[in-house]
Amino acid sequence: MSKFTTLGVVPGTGGTTIYTVPNNHAAIVKHLSFSNNNSAAKKITAQYYDSKASAYYFIAQDFSIAANTFVNLIDGNIISLNTGDKIILTAETANTISALISVEEIFDPLR
């Protein structure tokens, strides 16, 4: 059984967790986008945290988003996640970028 979830966040300059896979679930990130509502270009870093390996991996590092624009980082691809995995965002400047993530969560009582 699966369900779809969409969450939004305005990340700060410290790591901001936008999504964590709940217990007994796997998840597929179907959409990850950023909107820069500032008059200047701003950078954002997106990371994947693998809970099993206790390791962080960059999805995008210091990714520059032009002023007053929107960008879809996933763009037709997917990211598969397991229980406890996270997507973490860090903005160059707080309160300048809005982020949106859409995931499909799959329940698995054996996880």
pLDDT for res 25: 97
Query: 54 is written with which tokens?
Result: 């206790």
Q: At residue 111, does pLDDT exceed 90?
A: no
In the chain, how long is the greatest CA-to-CA distance? Answer: 48
The CA-based dihedral angle spanning residues 70, 42, 77, 110, taken in that order and rounded to the nearest 10 degrees? -110
**pTM for this structure?**
0.93
pLDDT digits (tens, 9 = 90+) for 38-93: 999 999 999 999 999 999 999 999 999 999 999 999 988 999 999 999 999 999 99
Strand order in the sheet with 86-91: 16-20, 86-91, 42-50, 55-65
Convert the pLDDT of each residue in 20-49 to its tens digit.
Answer: 999 999 999 999 999 999 999 999 999 999
Query: According to the model, what pLDDT value does residue 110 have?
Result: 82
Could you identify the residue written with the tokens 């779809």? 4
